[in-house]
Structure 1
Amino acid sequence: MNSDSESLQHYFLSWLLTDSGNPRDFKRIERKDTHGAENLLQVTTALASSYREAETKLQTFQLGEIPTVQERFQAVLKRRLQCQTESQPPLFPWETQITDYPEYLDEPAVVLVPTWGWAVQQSNLDLPILLPDSIFRQLLDKCQALITSSSLLGPKLIQAVENFFPNEFQTLNNLAGVVLTGATRSKKLKLPPLEGDYADLQLRQQMLLSLLAAKQLLESLTLYVSSTEPLTRQWLTSLGVLNLRVEYQLQGQVGKLWIQGDLPSKGSIKIQGNGSQIKAESSTPGCLSVELGGVQLNQTYTLTIELKEIDQQPLSFAIIPTS
Structure 2
Amino acid sequence: MNNDRNSLSPEEERLAQRFLAWLLQEVIPNDDPNPGAGVESHRSLSQTRDHDPSSITDESIMQTRFQALLKRRIQQEIQNNPPLFPWETTEVWEYANDPIDEEADSRVPTNVWLPQLAQLRLPIAISEATLAQLLVRCQQVLRTSLRQGERLVAAVEGLFPERTEELNIWTERVLLWSTSRSGETLIEPSEGEFPRSYEGATPTQQMLLSLLAAKEIVESLSLNVSASHPSDRRQWLTAQGLLQLDAEYRCHGELPQLRVCCQIPDGGRVQLRGEGAIATGQRSTPGSVTVELADIQPQQTYTLEIHLDASEQSPLVFAICPTS
The answer on whether the counterparts of 2:267 and 2:285 sit within 8 Å (CA) in structure 1 is: yes
The residue number in structure 2 matching 1:176 is 171
The answer on whether the counterparts of 2:152 and 2:215 sit within 8 Å (CA) in structure 1 is: yes
> For 1:238-249, what aligned pairs fall within 5 Å after superposition?
238-249=239-250
The residue number in structure 1 matching 2:101 is none
The answer on whether the counterparts of 1:266 and 1:282 sit within 8 Å (CA) in structure 2 is: yes
The answer on whether the counterparts of 1:257 and 1:293 sit within 8 Å (CA) in structure 2 is: yes
In 2, the alpha carbon distance for the partners of 1:194 and 1:309 equals 39
Among 126, 130, 135, the alignment partner of 2:130 is: 135
AA at the equivalent of 1:141: V
Structure with greater contact order relative to length (CA < 8 Å, sep ≥ 6): 2
> For 1:60-71, what aligned pairs fall within 5 Å after superposition?
none
The answer on whether the counterparts of 2:195 and 2:201 sit within 8 Å (CA) in structure 1 is: no
AA at the equivalent of 2:120: L
In 2, the alpha carbon distance for the partners of 1:236 and 1:272 equals 23
Task: Work out whether 1:124 is the aligned partner of 2:119.
Answer: yes
The residue number in structure 1 matching 2:147 is 152
The answer on whether the counterparts of 2:221 and 2:234 sit within 8 Å (CA) in structure 1 is: no
AA at the equivalent of 2:218: L
Q: Secondary structure at the match of 1:309?
A: helix
Following superposition, the deviation at residue 187 of structure 1 comes to 7.2
> For 1:1-323, what aligned pairs fall within 5 Å after superposition?
116-182=111-177, 196-228=196-228, 229-323=230-324
Larger radius of gyration: 1
Q: Secondary structure at the match of 1:296?
A: coil
Q: Deviations over 1:255-283 (max 9, x none)?
A: 11111110111111111112111111111
- The alignment of Structure 1 onto Structure 2 pairs a total of residues equal to 210
The answer on whether the counterparts of 2:269 and 2:307 sit within 8 Å (CA) in structure 1 is: yes
Q: Secondary structure at the match of 1:175?
A: helix
Structure 1 pair 115/295, CA: closer, same or farther in 2 (3 Å)? closer
Q: Secondary structure at the match of 2:172?
A: helix
Q: Secondary structure at the match of 2:158?
A: coil
In 2, the alpha carbon distance for the partners of 1:240 and 1:194 equals 35
Q: TM-score scaled by structure 2?
A: 0.60
The answer on whether the counterparts of 2:145 and 2:301 sit within 8 Å (CA) in structure 1 is: no
AA at the equivalent of 2:275: N
The answer on whether the counterparts of 1:303 and 1:317 sit within 8 Å (CA) in structure 2 is: yes
AA at the equivalent of 2:309: K
Q: Secondary structure at the match of 2:278?
A: strand
The answer on whether the counterparts of 1:129 and 1:194 sit within 8 Å (CA) in structure 2 is: no
Structure 1 pair 230/152, CA: closer, same or farther in 2 (3 Å)? same
In 1, the alpha carbon distance for the partners of 2:186 and 2:161 equals 26
Q: Deviations over 1:205-229 (max 9, x none)?
A: 1000000111111112121112343
AA at the equivalent of 1:138: Q
The residue number in structure 2 matching 1:76 is none
The residue number in structure 1 matching 2:89 is none
Following superposition, the deviation at residue 252 of structure 1 comes to 4.5
Query: Quick check: 248-257 or 295-304, which moved more?
Result: 248-257
In 1, the alpha carbon distance for the partners of 2:195 and 2:260 equals 39
In 1, the alpha carbon distance for the partners of 2:188 and 2:206 equals 11
In 1, the alpha carbon distance for the partners of 2:240 and 2:112 equals 7
In 2, the alpha carbon distance for the partners of 1:194 and 1:115 equals 32
Structure 1 pair 250/166, CA: closer, same or farther in 2 (3 Å)? same
In 2, the alpha carbon distance for the partners of 1:136 and 1:186 equals 29
In 1, the alpha carbon distance for the partners of 2:188 and 2:277 equals 47
Identical counterparts, % of pairs = 40
Following superposition, the deviation at residue 195 of structure 1 comes to 9.2
The answer on whether the counterparts of 1:122 and 1:130 sit within 8 Å (CA) in structure 2 is: no
Following superposition, the deviation at residue 239 of structure 1 comes to 1.0
In 2, the alpha carbon distance for the partners of 1:122 and 1:131 equals 9
Unaligned runs of 5+ in 2: 1-108
The answer on whether the counterparts of 1:280 and 1:288 sit within 8 Å (CA) in structure 2 is: yes
